[in-house]
Each structure stands twice: as C-alpha cells, then as structure tokens.
Amino acid sequence: MASAYSFDVTTGVDLQEVDNAVNQAQKESAQRYDFKDAKVLTIEFARTDGVIRLHTDHDMRMRALFDIVQSKLIKRGVPVKNLDVGEDVPAGNDTLKREIKLKQALDSETAKKVSAAIKDAKLKKVQASIQGDQVRISGPDKDALQDAMTLLRSQEFGVELKFGNYR
C-alpha cells in the first residue's frame, strides 16, 4: 500500500480532433449558399502554434464562419472553454481576420486558483502543489482525493480541467 496518493490536474485539447473539425468546417463553408460570392474565405489551423485563423470579407460572414467552426469543435468533443477567441482585426481589401488560440496548458493564474481552491476547502490532509503547467493534488487516502476532484469539477476556472496520472 502506498502511504500517499496523488493525481495531476491539467488542461488541453486533442489537436487531431481540432484538425478534423477545421477540415469539416472548410467543407461545409465551401458548400454554403451564404458564402457563395465571398471574395476571401479561409480557415487555417496552425498545429504547432495551436491557433485557428479565420479570414473573410464581411462581418456577418465572420460570425457565420465562427459559428460553423465552433459547432464542429463541439461535435468533435473539443471543449470550447479552452478557446481564446480574439477580436476581429481589419486586414487589406476590406477583409477581416480572427485568431482563435487553443489553451493547451494551465497558465500560472489558473494553477494558482486551483491550488487556492483546494487549500480554501480545507480537505483533510489534501495538499496542492504547482508543478510547471499542472497542479499535483496529494493526500493520504483516495476518498479525500475524490472529494478534491468533486470540488474542482463544481467550480469554474475558465478552462476544462483534466485529471490524470493517478498514483
């Protein structure tokens, strides 16, 4: 028997599912009637940067294009909490661009909030420690860790939390 148990709290998205959703959105936007006479209509996914780029010629089309991408991401099981949607930026020839960044790891602020939530709950001998882009929760028994998971699931941190590396 182990003297202490632990698990890690992280966040992230499946990049392959994002790629599939972007491909589906490209196919749907190519076939839609309201995009028929669009001068510019592109959806790009920069996998290494974790960014989806939208480019179109009209504000209404930008909203419709974003709705298509968002619905495809939802259908593929990608958490939309992990999307950091940028503002529409004017580009050349009266076109608009928008960047959607994917949150792949816990930032330091969110990690501090998770750690503070565990400490404020005063669970029996449960400790939280920040380790880079994840938070390790440790405790003497599995029941206390289950209570910590329930607590974290009930609160809002701005990203979809994932629990793993159970020991």
pLDDT tens-digit profile, the chain (167 residues): 456 889 999 998 999 999 999 999 999 998 988 888 888 889 999 999 999 999 998 889 999 999 999 999 999 999 999 999 999 999 888 889 999 999 998 888 999 999 999 888 888 888 888 988 899 999 888 888 888 899 999 999 888 989 988 88
CB atoms within 10 A of CB 112: 14
Q: Are 7 and 162 in contact (CB under 8 A)?
A: no
Q: Read off the pLDDT of residues 42-76 as tens digits, 9 standing for 90 and up.
A: 999 999 999 999 999 888 999 999 999 999 999 99
Distance from C-alpha of 78 to C-alpha of 36, rounded to nearest angstrom: 28
Within the chain, which residue ranges are assigned CATH 3.30.70.860?
5-12+106-164
Within the chain, which residue ranges are assigned CATH 3.30.70.990?
15-102
Tell me what pLDDT residue 1 has: 47
Tell me what pLDDT residue 93 has: 83
Q: Are 99 and 45 in contact (CB under 8 A)?
A: no
The fold adopted by the segment(s) 15-102 is: Alpha-Beta Plaits (3.30.70)
Distance from C-alpha of 81 to C-alpha of 104, rounded to nearest angstrom: 11
CATH number for the domain running over 5-12+106-164: 3.30.70.860
DSSP 38: -
